[in-house]
Amino acid sequence: MTIREILNEAVKTKRESLGNAECRSILAEAGVPQNASSFAKTRDDALAAGERIGYPVVLKVVSPQIVHKTEAGGVQLNIHSRAELGAAYDEMIRKVRASQPAARVDGVTVDQQLGGVELIIGSTRDPQFGPLIMFGLGGIFVEVYKDVTFRLVPISKRDALEMLEEVKGKPLYQGARGLPKASPAELAGILLSVSKLVHASPAIRELDLNPLVVTAEGVRAIDSRILVDLTTG
Protein backbone atom coordinates (compact mmCIF):
# COMPACT_ATOMS: atom_id res chain seq x y z
CA MET A 1 0.00 0.00 0.00
CA THR A 2 1.10 3.57 -0.67
CA ILE A 3 1.41 6.27 1.98
CA ARG A 4 -1.92 7.76 0.96
CA GLU A 5 -3.65 4.37 1.00
CA ILE A 6 -2.32 3.52 4.46
CA LEU A 7 -3.41 6.85 5.93
CA ASN A 8 -6.81 6.80 4.21
CA GLU A 9 -7.44 3.28 5.52
CA ALA A 10 -6.51 4.36 9.05
CA VAL A 11 -8.91 7.32 8.89
CA LYS A 12 -11.66 5.11 7.44
CA THR A 13 -11.30 2.51 10.19
CA LYS A 14 -10.76 5.16 12.90
CA ARG A 15 -7.31 3.89 13.94
CA GLU A 16 -5.37 6.74 15.48
CA SER A 17 -2.10 4.81 15.86
CA LEU A 18 -0.44 3.01 12.94
CA GLY A 19 1.11 -0.41 13.35
CA ASN A 20 4.81 -1.15 13.01
CA ALA A 21 4.51 -2.55 9.47
CA GLU A 22 2.50 0.49 8.34
CA CYS A 23 5.05 2.90 9.82
CA ARG A 24 7.91 1.06 8.14
CA SER A 25 6.11 1.07 4.79
CA ILE A 26 5.51 4.82 5.00
CA LEU A 27 9.11 5.55 5.94
CA ALA A 28 10.45 3.29 3.21
CA GLU A 29 8.37 5.10 0.56
CA ALA A 30 9.49 8.45 2.02
CA GLY A 31 13.15 7.42 1.65
CA VAL A 32 14.06 7.13 5.35
CA PRO A 33 16.76 4.46 5.95
CA GLN A 34 15.79 1.80 8.50
CA ASN A 35 17.31 -1.24 10.18
CA ALA A 36 16.47 -4.70 8.85
CA SER A 37 13.23 -6.14 10.23
CA SER A 38 10.98 -9.12 9.63
CA PHE A 39 7.48 -10.01 10.84
CA ALA A 40 7.04 -13.55 12.17
CA LYS A 41 3.75 -15.27 13.00
CA THR A 42 5.31 -18.25 14.77
CA ARG A 43 8.37 -19.31 16.74
CA ASP A 44 9.80 -21.11 13.70
CA ASP A 45 9.23 -18.01 11.55
CA ALA A 46 11.10 -15.92 14.14
CA LEU A 47 14.05 -18.35 14.13
CA ALA A 48 14.23 -18.23 10.34
CA ALA A 49 14.11 -14.41 10.42
CA GLY A 50 16.99 -14.31 12.89
CA GLU A 51 19.14 -16.35 10.51
CA ARG A 52 18.30 -14.07 7.59
CA ILE A 53 18.90 -10.80 9.44
CA GLY A 54 21.96 -11.87 11.42
CA TYR A 55 22.63 -11.44 15.13
CA PRO A 56 22.27 -9.58 17.41
CA VAL A 57 18.53 -9.00 17.09
CA VAL A 58 15.64 -7.56 19.07
CA LEU A 59 12.30 -9.31 19.51
CA LYS A 60 9.08 -7.27 19.83
CA VAL A 61 5.50 -8.42 20.21
CA VAL A 62 2.93 -7.35 17.61
CA SER A 63 -0.51 -6.72 19.08
CA PRO A 64 -3.11 -4.02 18.37
CA GLN A 65 -3.98 -3.96 22.08
CA ILE A 66 -0.42 -3.54 23.38
CA VAL A 67 0.87 0.00 22.84
CA HIS A 68 3.54 0.06 25.56
CA LYS A 69 5.44 -3.11 24.67
CA THR A 70 8.20 -2.85 27.26
CA GLU A 71 5.79 -2.54 30.18
CA ALA A 72 3.90 -5.62 28.97
CA GLY A 73 7.08 -7.70 28.68
CA GLY A 74 6.86 -7.53 24.90
CA VAL A 75 10.47 -6.57 24.13
CA GLN A 76 13.58 -8.78 24.33
CA LEU A 77 17.01 -7.22 23.62
CA ASN A 78 20.55 -8.47 23.03
CA ILE A 79 19.72 -11.79 21.38
CA HIS A 80 22.94 -13.25 19.97
CA SER A 81 22.11 -16.74 18.72
CA ARG A 82 19.37 -19.07 17.48
CA ALA A 83 19.17 -20.71 20.89
CA GLU A 84 18.83 -17.35 22.63
CA LEU A 85 16.17 -16.28 20.15
CA GLY A 86 14.06 -19.38 20.81
CA ALA A 87 14.33 -18.89 24.57
CA ALA A 88 13.58 -15.16 24.28
CA TYR A 89 10.51 -15.88 22.15
CA ASP A 90 9.13 -18.33 24.74
CA GLU A 91 9.85 -15.96 27.63
CA MET A 92 8.30 -12.95 25.89
CA ILE A 93 5.09 -14.75 24.96
CA ARG A 94 4.80 -16.02 28.54
CA LYS A 95 5.20 -12.51 29.97
CA VAL A 96 2.77 -10.96 27.50
CA ARG A 97 0.11 -13.59 28.19
CA ALA A 98 0.51 -13.01 31.92
CA SER A 99 0.37 -9.22 31.77
CA GLN A 100 -2.19 -8.82 28.95
CA PRO A 101 -4.29 -12.01 28.85
CA ALA A 102 -7.02 -10.43 26.71
CA ALA A 103 -4.65 -9.01 24.08
CA ARG A 104 -4.58 -10.50 20.58
CA VAL A 105 -1.03 -11.43 19.64
CA ASP A 106 -0.57 -11.36 15.87
CA GLY A 107 3.10 -12.35 15.99
CA VAL A 108 6.46 -10.71 16.59
CA THR A 109 9.02 -8.62 14.77
CA VAL A 110 12.66 -9.65 14.61
CA ASP A 111 14.73 -6.49 14.23
CA GLN A 112 18.41 -5.97 13.55
CA GLN A 113 19.97 -4.56 16.73
CA LEU A 114 22.25 -1.60 16.07
CA GLY A 115 24.30 0.36 18.59
CA GLY A 116 25.44 3.94 18.35
CA VAL A 117 24.52 7.53 19.18
CA GLU A 118 20.74 7.88 19.42
CA LEU A 119 19.01 10.84 17.78
CA ILE A 120 15.37 11.81 17.28
CA ILE A 121 13.42 13.37 14.44
CA GLY A 122 9.83 14.22 15.23
CA SER A 123 6.89 16.18 13.92
CA THR A 124 3.67 17.53 15.38
CA ARG A 125 0.99 19.96 14.23
CA ASP A 126 0.64 23.25 16.06
CA PRO A 127 -2.95 24.59 16.00
CA GLN A 128 -1.72 28.06 15.04
CA PHE A 129 1.42 27.50 12.95
CA GLY A 130 0.80 24.08 11.41
CA PRO A 131 3.33 21.22 11.14
CA LEU A 132 6.67 21.50 12.94
CA ILE A 133 9.75 19.31 12.62
CA MET A 134 12.13 18.57 15.50
CA PHE A 135 15.69 17.25 15.63
CA GLY A 136 17.93 16.45 18.58
CA LEU A 137 19.43 13.84 20.85
CA GLY A 138 17.19 10.79 21.11
CA GLY A 139 16.59 7.79 23.33
CA ILE A 140 16.64 8.62 27.04
CA PHE A 141 18.38 11.93 26.30
CA VAL A 142 15.13 13.41 24.96
CA GLU A 143 13.53 13.49 28.42
CA VAL A 144 16.74 14.17 30.35
CA TYR A 145 18.36 16.97 28.34
CA LYS A 146 15.59 18.14 25.99
CA ASP A 147 18.38 19.06 23.56
CA VAL A 148 16.25 19.62 20.45
CA THR A 149 15.58 22.28 17.82
CA PHE A 150 12.46 23.06 15.75
CA ARG A 151 11.47 24.48 12.37
CA LEU A 152 8.21 25.06 10.55
CA VAL A 153 7.48 22.59 7.74
CA PRO A 154 8.45 22.57 4.91
CA ILE A 155 12.16 23.10 5.52
CA SER A 156 14.96 23.81 3.06
CA LYS A 157 18.35 22.11 2.89
CA ARG A 158 19.82 25.18 4.58
CA ASP A 159 17.27 24.85 7.41
CA ALA A 160 18.19 21.18 7.84
CA LEU A 161 21.92 21.89 8.03
CA GLU A 162 21.32 24.71 10.53
CA MET A 163 19.30 22.35 12.74
CA LEU A 164 22.23 19.94 12.88
CA GLU A 165 24.44 22.75 14.22
CA GLU A 166 21.97 24.03 16.84
CA VAL A 167 21.95 20.94 19.08
CA LYS A 168 24.32 21.36 22.03
CA GLY A 169 25.20 17.68 22.03
CA LYS A 170 26.28 17.73 18.39
CA PRO A 171 29.82 16.45 19.20
CA LEU A 172 28.17 13.10 20.00
CA TYR A 173 27.11 12.63 16.38
CA GLN A 174 30.14 14.38 14.93
CA GLY A 175 32.56 11.61 15.92
CA ALA A 176 33.72 12.76 19.37
CA ARG A 177 35.85 10.24 21.32
CA GLY A 178 35.79 7.69 18.51
CA LEU A 179 32.00 7.54 18.22
CA PRO A 180 30.53 6.89 14.74
CA LYS A 181 30.30 10.14 12.79
CA ALA A 182 27.05 10.99 11.04
CA SER A 183 27.25 12.40 7.54
CA PRO A 184 25.70 15.91 7.62
CA ALA A 185 24.38 15.30 4.11
CA GLU A 186 22.69 12.05 5.18
CA LEU A 187 21.13 13.55 8.31
CA ALA A 188 19.95 16.63 6.41
CA GLY A 189 18.50 14.35 3.75
CA ILE A 190 16.47 12.44 6.34
CA LEU A 191 15.19 15.70 7.82
CA LEU A 192 14.15 16.84 4.33
CA SER A 193 12.44 13.50 3.64
CA VAL A 194 10.43 13.72 6.87
CA SER A 195 9.55 17.35 6.17
CA LYS A 196 8.32 16.44 2.68
CA LEU A 197 6.33 13.48 4.05
CA VAL A 198 4.58 15.54 6.73
CA HIS A 199 3.94 18.47 4.40
CA ALA A 200 2.32 16.21 1.80
CA SER A 201 0.32 14.17 4.36
CA PRO A 202 -2.03 16.29 6.49
CA ALA A 203 -3.42 13.08 7.99
CA ILE A 204 -0.15 12.62 9.91
CA ARG A 205 -0.78 14.31 13.26
CA GLU A 206 2.41 13.19 14.98
CA LEU A 207 5.53 11.34 13.86
CA ASP A 208 8.58 10.20 15.82
CA LEU A 209 11.74 8.46 14.69
CA ASN A 210 13.23 7.53 18.05
CA PRO A 211 15.83 6.31 18.13
CA LEU A 212 17.53 7.25 14.90
CA VAL A 213 20.90 5.56 15.41
CA VAL A 214 24.24 6.76 14.06
CA THR A 215 26.29 3.68 13.10
CA ALA A 216 29.55 3.20 11.25
CA GLU A 217 27.49 2.14 8.21
CA GLY A 218 25.17 5.15 8.30
CA VAL A 219 22.09 6.50 10.06
CA ARG A 220 19.15 4.13 10.57
CA ALA A 221 15.66 4.60 12.01
CA ILE A 222 15.20 1.86 14.60
CA ASP A 223 11.75 2.64 15.97
CA SER A 224 8.95 4.86 14.72
CA ARG A 225 5.52 6.08 15.76
CA ILE A 226 2.85 7.71 13.59
CA LEU A 227 -0.45 9.10 14.89
CA VAL A 228 -3.27 9.90 12.49
CA ASP A 229 -5.66 12.87 12.47
CA LEU A 230 -9.01 11.11 12.15
CA THR A 231 -10.76 14.35 11.12
CA THR A 232 -9.00 14.41 7.76
CA GLY A 233 -10.19 12.71 4.59
Quote the crossing angle between the two packed helices 157-166 and 184-200, to the nearest 10°. 120
Domains of the chain: 3-34+115-228 (3.30.470.20), 37-112 (3.30.1490.20)
Contacts of 193 (CB under 8 A, 6+ apart): 30, 31, 32
Contacts of 28 (CB under 8 A, 6+ apart): 34
Neighbours of 158 (CB within 10 A): 9
Per-residue pLDDT of the chain (233 residues; tens, 9 = 90+): 999 999 999 999 999 999 999 999 999 999 999 999 999 999 999 999 999 999 999 999 999 889 888 899 999 999 999 999 999 999 999 999 999 999 999 999 999 999 999 999 999 999 999 999 999 999 776 777 789 999 999 999 999 999 999 999 999 999 998 999 999 999 999 999 999 999 999 999 999 999 999 999 999 999 999 999 999 86
> Is 0.95 topped by the overall pTM?
no
- The total number of residues shown for the chain amounts to 233
